[in-house]
Amino acid sequence: MSSVQTPQGFTFKMPLLKKQENGEQVLVKNESYLQTLKNKDQRKRLVHEICTFLDSSQSVQEIDALRTENRKLKNANSRLRYKTKDWALKKEEYENEIERLSGEISNYLNVTNFWYEESELLNSTEKRTTKEETKHVSVQTEGVLGQEKRTVATQTDEDSSRLTLNGRRSI
């Protein structure tokens, strides 16, 4: 290993040779790498430029900005993951609630339709029975009373003269 010292006092260790299994050393095949290491002035200049850049306030600011940006991105990613999970749960809850409400509405509609049909049936049977009773009463009273007109007094049984035929009361 060869060591290179920077003007600031840093020492870098760089491998120049590789060892084979039998212990013999073999030169690194990369010629440009060897030429760079052989040329002391060029090596010193490169090390100095690297150290100057690393020590410069611009690089420190860039590193801090990149770290800050990375932290912001990680936080945003975490929030998005949480919101995505939260939205998925809420979506499932909303879908379940919609399904439940649809079922309730369907039940209410069925009950409403049932009672509507029942009331229609009751109304139609009441109308029929009322018409039949009216017909029946008018047939009974027509023959018995003759051509007498009906009045409020005869309708409300306030008339003192009541006729009873065959055990039935007639108006």
State residue 25's pLDDT score. 47
Residues 6+ apart with CB under 8 A from 143: none
Domain boundaries, the chain: 2-55
- pLDDT under 70 in the chain at which residues? 1-37, 130-171
CB atoms within 10 A of CB 145: 14
State residue 10's pLDDT score. 60
Whether this prediction's pTM lies above 0.75 is answered by no
Which of 6, 2, 5 shows the shortest CA–CA distance to 53? Answer: 6
| Alpha-carbon radius of gyration of the chain | 54
